[in-house]
């Protein structure tokens, strides 16, 4: 599966990985664990900080001060993308 943003931000994440990072309750620790996996981290390291900030600003959920933290922006963006993958899983998907 691909997470694709509006500003050229993209990353390849499997359905299994997405479901581990998007669930009920606080997901931050699980998203951080996902972000640390070497093949994910390599992709995240390539994201342009300004493009990521611009994309996240469209959600209106964070102010300029919050969006100045690139590391947290990566976590926010990865969590949102995992949610998109999770929300589009077929009902029969049970491979957690």
Domain assignment present for 24: yes
Distance in angstroms (rounded) separating the CA atoms of residues 9 and 3: 8
Domain assignment present for 39: yes
Domain assignment present for 96: no
Domain assignment present for 95: no
pLDDT of res. 96: 47
- The whole domain housing 28 covers 2-87
pTM of the complete model: 0.87
* Residues lower than pLDDT 70 in the chain: 1, 90-96
User: How many structural domains does the chain have?
Assistant: 1
Distance in angstroms (rounded) separating the CA atoms of residues 96 and 86: 11
């Amino acid at each position: 599966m691909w997470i694709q943003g509006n500003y050229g931000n993209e990353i390849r994440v499997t359905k299994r990985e997405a479901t581990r990072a998007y669930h009920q309750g606080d997901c931050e620790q699980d998203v951080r664990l996902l972000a640390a996996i070497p093949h994910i981290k390599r992709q995240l390291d390539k994201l342009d900080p300004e493009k990521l900030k611009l994309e996240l600003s469209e959600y209106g959920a964070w102010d300029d001060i919050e969006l100045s933290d690139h590391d947290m922006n990566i976590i926010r963006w990865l969590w949102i993308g995992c949610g998109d993958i999770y929300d589009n899983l077929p009902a029969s998907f049970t491979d957690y």
